[in-house]
Amino acid sequence: MEIIFRKHKTGKNRYQVPSWEGYNSGLDEKYIRDDLDMPDVGESEIVRHYIKLSKMNFGVDDNMYPLGSCTMKYNPKVNEKFAKSGEFLNLHPLSGDNLSQGSLRLLYELSDYLRKISGMKGVTLAPAAGSHGELTGVMVIKKYFEDTGDKRDTIIIPDSAHGTNPASVAMCGFKIKEAKSTPEGDVDIELLESIIDENVAGMMLTSPGTTGLFDRNLKKIADMLHKNGSLFYGDGANLNATLGKARFADMGFDIMHINVHKTFSTPHGGGGPGAGPVTVVEKLEKYLPVPSVNKEGDKYFLDYDRPDSIGRIHSFYGNFLILVRAFIYINTLGAEGLKDVSETAVLNANYLKELLKGEYNLPIDRSCMHEFVLNDKGFPEGITTDHISKRILDYGYHAPTVFFPLIIPHSIMIEPTETESKETLEKFAEVMIRIKKEAFENPDLLLKAPQNTPVKRVDSVLAAKTPVLKWE
Amino acid sequence: MSYTLLTDSDRTEMLKKTGAGHIDDLFSDIPSDILNVVIEGLPSPKSEMEISELMGEIEKENSCRSVFMGGGIYNHYIPALVDEISSRSEFYTAYTPYQPEVSQGTLTAIFEFQTFMCRLTGLDVTNASMYDGATSLAEAVMMSVRTNRKNRVIVSRSVNPLYRSVLETYCWASGIEIAEADINDFETDYSRLEKLIDDETTAVVIQSPNFFGTIEDIPRVRSLLEGKKGFLISVVTEAMSLGLLNSPGSLGADIVCGEAQSLGNYPAFGGPLLGFISAKESFTRKIPGRLAGKTLDADGSEALALTLQAREQHIRREKATSNICSNEGLLALRASIYISLMGPHLKELGTYNHKAASYLKEKLLKKGFTEVSDKPFFNEFLLRQKDPHGFEEKCSLNCISPGISIEQYYPELNGCYLFCATETNSRKMIDAFIEKL
Amino acid sequence: MGNEKGKKIEAGLKYTEKHEWLKIDGDTAFCGISDFAQNSLGDIVFVEFTDDLKGEEIKKGDVIAVVESSKAASDVYSPVSGEVLELNTLIEDTPETLNSDPYGEGWFIKIRLTDPGESESLLNSDDYEKLIS
């Protein structure tokens, strides 16, 4: 295993810290540690170490990354270039409005774009990730009902939801009721009707759903909730499917969060940072976190005068540098370009689905949105989704999302995104079909996969059984 | 400009394959009255050159004139190596390392980060990052509640006020009670704190160095918690201090959380930042967020994988330790590179910070500022200005914006400014600044 | 009785819809999780009992433990009400016992039944077989 600690040898690190010769600041020794244990490695070795590590990684720039529900599209380099401006990188967040007009303008204009794209009224850019946006949105629901004095303690979540939905709801002290899905992938509207009562504060729904399908009863669901006085939360994780094509407000949602690192092309950084802005309808605007970005005359300012707000949810104003990238992306594409994104993403997904249909089991055979779900049914006994996904790695692609959504057993969720060409999709389909053949003709190729990766099959059971979480 | 790749004939052919006559047929599940609604007021598409012009205009409207400013975000020197390596697209265009066989790069950087933070804080387990310092504190408090099932947290008023605001929001939402421990002479009032601690206390939260820069007496707080179930949470907003000062873990903290932006990351107008939680081993299965762990691959070679995932939302759903999914992994990578490069010199760097701040304080005391506290500090300190108006005017004329006026957070401390100096401030630079006053 | 991998059922035990089993002996009983449960979870890596369980009066449906595999996690519920007499700490030290011997060495708790009638409403092995097939 490559690790920096193995390269340690006392005296190798020649990094120079400037000195303050002849000045003694006199900090009492009792405050100073004598146990700092850091590896001693030379600069050129450090470079080689991390370059080597980078070669053991796989990014969107390497090849197609069809990780369903994650929208791994191309991350434009122009975004990177301009997000690295010194005026953005070095600006202290407490510099005050006067020195931050450029940053505030950018946030203000981006808020306006997101307002228009979602069709909502209020916007906060502060949430640092999608799940942070969810938490913020659920807090808004809580605050709304506290404010109206209406005691409601339950939120409905479909069985197909991402795990973040129930986790966010639980953090706000709400109870959860589960809405079941029909075999066709819609919410079972009759069962839903039976669980909507006076305790239901709201419902969270991903649109389109985690099976890649647009719920055909969406407006009916919205009506049922609104008639009951409940709020409708739209999880925008799959916004790439409807970007510029249909607005969440028009679908009947009252609140939504947007995963900027999915829909708006900002890179995911191997785990983050992302950004998860939230937009809301007019009656909920006053509950959004402080501060908001506002404008008076031609001056932008951070607005703390929001007495009904849920409060602060981030140390400062959110993941600014990520939002810069989203701002550039929207400016690059413009309204027509955004619509082209969703149309192409949906066309790519449907085309790839058609290429694989017949070869792979497609549990729900409907026209899909930006992604679709297959599974391992029809593969020989003993070969599962797990083996298929590892074999895909051998062919130089990232694996799709596997074993999610939970409502389809052993699911394989494929999201090609709009930034793949027809040729790439066809090549990927060929590989998938070849893997199916291999499963019958030479199952060892799957059972022992992956073989062409920097490390072989990693034992996750051992990792969990005896956790070793730091180098010793 | 656009990043899609289909030609007109591709589209025709592909549509035909899907059996759709028109692209809108693929959107037929969406009610037609809300489909293709024209969105007014979005910008028109731009070329890269036009983007360059637009961004040039916006960045000029910013002005990085603020100096000697800390308060939770610190301006440290970022070595060339950090930017260079973290710009490798193998790192920044990857997703969360769900497939360990093709993610050993990210996993190793996280594992190194976990190790570095454990060594710096003096604790046993560190997660792969949180959004920022404030939310890491909120999560640390929720972790305490989950662990000892007590529901009242005591927070010192010397903890960063913005962190306390965020904690308040989270505690309101999850029904945790907050009690505030007042301050005395710019540190926690330990005797008053003692009276607040009872059997319902889930944790005591202090910050060291605290918001005023004072190094707090962590062992004393530890002793107040003897025989109680409550945990000691020590917040660190200036991670650079960990290289020089005694580690909070060695002084008795159960949990250390906060902000590691100082380690290789930019102020960036406050985001993205690098929150972290480190804790004693007993919290291993209670900690929120990703964890990278060591294991073996099929050949028996050492390898890494995300582990203890049964804590996390994608498996435990409403019973998860947190809802966190995306974190700040790329910033953790930068921190690993930064710490590797500083290595044993991290302590010298800490010493430099303390010297620079001490020198700045000495000089400011000769320029109309008065001392408010002689408590030990790291690289931040508080001074009072007799004539705040005149001071700010002079600064404004000289196009500088130094320190943070903290009256907005502590109304009783009118005229007090929080100053910070780091290795980015040479003696020459400080002298030049003092000249202008 | 079923013998297929992951579907083994022991006759004479009572079962719950959440895949716990109960083996009654007079006024005491052992309980654990079924073969189906262990097989669905996969390789079990961690078991943790609810705090201070021993000697406690618990109610039917109370969480007695959490079981984790590398890819899943599940709470284990008490099938009946009663006083907890013993905890099987062996499964905390060697969680894989749950995979290898769910109906034997892999029991969770021994309990003194406070409401013997309660077990009547549990599934018998035939009903349980139908449930999982």
Q: What is the DSSP string of B10-34?
A: HHHHHHHHHT-SSGGGGGTTS-GGG
Question: Nearest CA to B277 among B121, B146, B396, B415?
Answer: B121
With residue C68 as reference, give the H or E element that holds it: strand C63-69
- Long-range contacts from B54-59, C-beta under 8 angstroms, 24+ separation: B54/A331, B55/A82, B55/A85, B55/A328, B58/A102, B58/A105, B58/A106, B59/A85, B59/A87, B59/A88, B59/A102
- Which residues from B are below 8 Å from A47, CB to CB? 81, 84-85
Beta strands in B11-91 (DSSP E): 66-67
Q: Which chains touch C (3 or more CB pairs under 8 A)?
A: A, B
CA A268 to chain centre: 8
CB proximity list for B125: less than 8 A, separation 6 or greater: A469, A470, B114, B118, B278, B279, B280, B281, B283, B284, B287, B291
Report pTM.
Answer: 0.96
The rounded mean pLDDT for chain A is: 96
Question: Nearest CA to B108 among A1, A40, A7?
Answer: A1
Q: Sign (positive/negative) of CA torsion B258, B353, B330, A328?
A: positive
Q: Quote the pLDDT of residue B399.
A: 82
- DSSP label at A286? G
Beta strands in B169-254 (DSSP E): 177-181, 183-184, 187-188, 201-207, 231-236
- DSSP label at B293? E
CB contact under 8 A, A464 and C46: yes
Q: Hey, is the C-beta of A367 within 8 angstroms of any chain B C-beta?
A: yes
Distance from CA of C96 to the nearest CA of A (A): 10
Q: Hey, is the C-beta of B317 within 8 angstroms of any chain C C-beta?
A: no
The rounded mean pLDDT for chain C is: 90
Interface test with C, best of A457, A460, A462 (most C CBs within 10 A): A460
The tokens for C59 are 């109610």
- Which residues from A are below 8 Å from C91, CB to CB? none
Beta strands in A130-211 (DSSP E): 154-158, 175-179, 200-206
Among A54, A163, A246, the residue with its CB nearest the CB of B34 is A246
Q: Sign (positive/negative) of CA torsion A396, A401, A402, A408?
A: negative
Q: Which residue of C has its CA nearest to A410?
A: C40
Beta strands in A59-174 (DSSP E): 122-124, 154-158
- Which residues from A are below 8 Å from B118, CB to CB? 470
CA B253 to chain centre: 19
Question: Nearest CA to A128 among A322, A266, A306, A288?
Answer: A322
Q: Which chains touch B (3 or more CB pairs under 8 A)?
A: A, C
Instruction: Produce one character per residue of B180-198: b if its CB has 16 or more CB atoms within 10 Å, e if not.
Output: ebebeebbbbbeebeebbe
Other C-beta atoms lying within 10 Å of the C-beta of residue A254: 26
CA–CA gap between residue C37 and residue B215 (Å, rounded): 53
CA–CA gap between residue B103 and residue B109 (Å, rounded): 10
Beta strands in A207-319 (DSSP E): 231-236, 255-258, 278-280, 292-296, 299-303
- B263, B241 Cβ separation under 8 angstroms: no
CB contact under 8 A, A460 and C70: yes
The tokens for C36 are 């189906």
Q: Quote the pLDDT of residue C3.
A: 56
Distance from CA of B196 to the nearest CA of A (A): 25
DSSP structure string for B391-411:
HHHHHHHTT-EESEEGGGT-T
- C103, C21 Cβ separation under 8 angstroms: yes
CA–CA gap between residue A305 and residue A291 (Å, rounded): 8
Q: Which residue of A has its CA nearest to B322?
A: A167
- Give the residue ranges of chain B where pLDDT is below 50: none
C-alpha dist (Å) from residue A460 to A152, A155, C69: 41, 34, 10
Interface test with A, best of B47, B102, B428 (most A CBs within 10 A): B102
CA angle A93, A94, A98 (to 5 degrees): 95
Instruction: List beta partners, residue B418.
Output: B382, B404
- Give the residue ranges of chain A where pLDDT is below 70: none
The residue type of A377 is: K
For strands B255-259 and B275-279, give the pairing: antiparallel
CB proximity list for A163: less than 8 A, separation 6 or greater: B312, B313, B314, B315, B316, B317, B320, B325
CA–CA gap between residue B41 and residue A169 (Å, rounded): 34
Q: Which residue of A has its CA nearest to B83?
A: A84
The tokens for A398 are 């990232």
Q: Quote the pLDDT of residue B398.
A: 85
Beta strands in B1-118 (DSSP E): 66-67
Does the predicted interface ipTM exceed a cut of 0.90? yes
Residue C1's pLDDT band, with cuts at 50, 70 and 90, is very low
Distance from CA of C43 to the nearest CA of A (A): 7
- B267, B237 Cβ separation under 8 angstroms: no
Question: pLDDT per residue over A263-317, tens digit each?
Answer: 999 999 999 999 999 999 999 999 999 999 999 999 999 999 999 999 999 999 9
The residue type of A431 is: V
DSSP structure string for B301-360:
-EEEEE--GGGSHHHHGGGSS----S--HHHHHHHHHHHHHHGGGHHHHHHHHHHHHHHH
CA–CA gap between residue A372 and residue A374 (Å, rounded): 7
